[in-house]
Amino acid sequence: MSIDLSGLSAKELGALIKNAKKQQTIVAKRPAISKVRAQLTKLAKAQGYSVEELFGGTAPARGRAAKAATSPAKKAVRKLGKVAPKYRNPANPKETWTGRGKQPRWLAAHTAKGKKPEDFLIKK
């Protein structure tokens, strides 16, 4: 984390240092996070709950498990079947479009000139 301090006056820097030291003493007085986590888990178990029930999701992982949990997971991708083309470029009949995804450049160029996509429908 970097903060650009070059534009601050001496008075502003002094106030910033004072606030930073104040925050540092507050943070230093707090108990360790592992200690608080253990106390919360113990209290939840004593009352018959789990941390997951109380706070939703799962408890934060620690150590190597945390690194593995934060790595990007493979998302389930819904496979779509092949679809017959619906639109054809009159200038180049090999260029077609199914109507899915981004509009091809040739169709975008024609629609920019005022034509409608329906004008390029493939007749069955």
Is 45 within the bounds of a domain? yes
Residues 57 and 91 reside in one and the same domain: no
**What size, in residues, is the chain?**
124
- Mean pLDDT in order along the chain per 10 residues (124 residues): 85 94 93 90 90 74 58 72 91 93 93 93 87
Residues 56 and 94 reside in one and the same domain: no
Q: Of 47, 62, 77, which one is at a domain's C-terminal end?
A: 62
For residue 18, what are the domain limits? 10-62
Cα–Cα distance, 23 to 45 (Å, whole number): 33
Cα–Cα distance, 121 to 124 (Å, whole number): 9
What's the pTM?
A: 0.37
